[in-house]
């Protein structure tokens, strides 16, 4: 009976050690990660200075890269011109 308790205690200690390592290894974001953002469309990370930022709704901020904007622009130009009333 005592052996089972000892084994359970050792397993508990080992689990706590691995849990502690997980907390230690979870590092804060680097300066580079803080100054960059992910494009909302393609999901690639770019420097924030070359991204176009838009606010959707009240607080959601999204970023678009030039490649995706060019793609959207090309798609918009390829569509037939419609009148202003939908
Ligand atoms: Zn993109």
At 17 the pLDDT is 85
Distance 85 CA to ligand 1 centre (A): 30
CB proximity list for 45: less than 8 A, separation 6 or greater: 36, 37, 38, 39
Distance 38 CA to ligand 1 centre (A): 8
Domain boundaries, the chain: 2-78
Distance 51 CA to ligand 1 centre (A): 9
Contact 35, 63 (CB under 8 A): no
Distance 61 CA to ligand 1 centre (A): 15
Per-residue pLDDT tens digits for 22-63: 877 888 888 888 899 999 999 999 999 999 999 999 999 999
Distance 1 CA to ligand 1 centre (A): 61
Per-residue pLDDT tens digits for 58-84: 999 999 999 999 999 999 999 987 665
Distance 48 CA to ligand 1 centre (A): 12
């Amino acid at each position: 009976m005592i052996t089972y308790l000892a084994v359970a205690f050792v397993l508990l200690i080992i689990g706590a050690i691995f849990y502690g390592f997980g907390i230690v290894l979870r590092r804060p974001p680097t300066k580079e990660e803080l100054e960059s953002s992910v494009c909302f469309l393609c999901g690639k990370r770019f420097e924030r200075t070359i991204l176009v930022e838009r606010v959707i709704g009240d607080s959601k901020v999204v970023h678009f890269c030039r490649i995706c904007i060019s793609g959207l622009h090309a798609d918009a130009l390829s569509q037939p011109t419609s009148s202003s009333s939908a």
